[in-house]
Structure 1
């Protein structure tokens, strides 16, 4: 599902409302949907009727109210408050399902939800509807999980150790004993865990990540093959070329000339993308 599956029309906003201490609104009934997120202060939102609900709003939360809901706001009695809002119609929810089943509140703790809210306040037509549709999509379905969050504990520790070892920019190979010590398991146990999960041992898995970095450098730099080999921890260009050919099916110079594959394709196929992303994409 994508935001292009949704048909959204903006009614009012996005905008920021400013309130003196103790201000109230409602009860009122909206004819449309409304996103509300606090910028400063706090507020109490109350839904009345057959299924009453009260929610304390604070910065870092996103509220979605529905058409036909009878609602009431009370803002912080002790200080001024501001909140952002946008009202809109959903002509076709697409695969999101019935609005009655959509969440009421989500925390703005996971990108890109907070970035989209900030962008809504800066953008103008016609992009407002596009950004709003994407925000609604992610609000209802939930942000995609970060695959790096699913790394087993021993792999997570190993990755942290590698990041420290590579902090000078050279992706050196590490011996199995050092990798196992970093993961807090025995070398034999670590090898079994990696082969079960990734189809290769930990030393081979780390080498594949180093080769992925090399492929990116071949594609996106003028460094010589020897310089790429050195940056990725290979003892010489000959050894690097042999290992690169085994992973990518061609020599480094041919890869640079023809770019026959996504540089991360081998790590994706091995199930190592979350590891590679932590070691490469997240590096400063």
Structure 2
């Protein structure tokens, strides 16, 4: 069961001149504070935390805290006060983190922007939606986004360079997800072929050429499920030499021929072999971010 929250009076924005302070005060509810511009220091007991744009703070009931805003320039932050009638599966509040740093791609950053957008039109429907969104924000803040610390953004530098090259190669021409040689991949990654193979096998348990092939096959599996393209056209789109070679490689990875896989009417996950090989971060970059 997800957590349930009740936002007290919507989401608002506060603007401060340089050197302003607030508190000390004792909270009687929960409060999210996220910095929009300027900076601040948040003091609570022995804690003295810097707050900068992109910082999301969660203060809890009973905390006696104080804000000291930027001494040199104006500061703005958004905030929401709320109660938590039901924590759902979340742990006790005293174990919750106090701050998280938001990145542009972070789902929490998107939720914060959406909450600010919602605040433009107050009303019962908006209030109910705000409750839902702050509940989602709290869940993500406490539990963290499900792609854990080793997320899709955490690929090693040499793999990032390789991915950039593969994306460029796939976007060029007809958009065919063509195969790339080990030598070409190693050149893109700026390491030797042998070193690249070792790095891939240590991280993904397969070599770089096999890893890229599994991602190409996942792209093909999606086309088999979600298009009227012939098997031959799918084979060509995903860079295989001919339908026979494609069928043999596809059957090896998915345990069924392309036609049998299509006939199963979407019962299988196209990414299953990729997940099994531990290649989901790589596949995410090549398939989800290559649109």
Query: Normalized against structure 2, the TM-score is what?
Result: 0.81
Match of 2:259 in 1: 253
Distance 1:205 1:40, change over 3 A: closer
Aligned residue-pair number: 278
Q: Gaps spanning 5+ residues in structure 2: where?
A: 119-125
Equivalent residues in 2 for 1:1-284, closer than 5 Å: 4-19=1-16, 23-47=20-44, 51-76=45-70, 80-109=74-103, 111-123=106-118, 124-143=126-145, 144-168=148-172, 169-195=175-201, 197-258=203-264, 259-284=266-291
SS at 1:210's partner residue? helix
Distance (whole Å) between structure 2 residues aligned to residue 56 and residue 196 of structure 1: 38
Distance (whole Å) between structure 2 residues aligned to residue 196 and residue 21 of structure 1: 52
SS at 1:121's partner residue? helix
Q: Gaps spanning 5+ residues in structure 1: where?
A: none
SS at 2:32's partner residue? strand
The CA deviation at 1:56 is: 4.2
Distance 1:200 1:54, change over 3 A: closer
Distance 1:130 1:146, change over 3 A: farther
The CA deviation at 1:114 is: 0.9
Distance (whole Å) between structure 1 residues aligned to residue 131 and residue 85 of structure 2: 12
Query: Normalized against structure 1, the TM-score is what?
Result: 0.83
The CA deviation at 1:233 is: 0.9
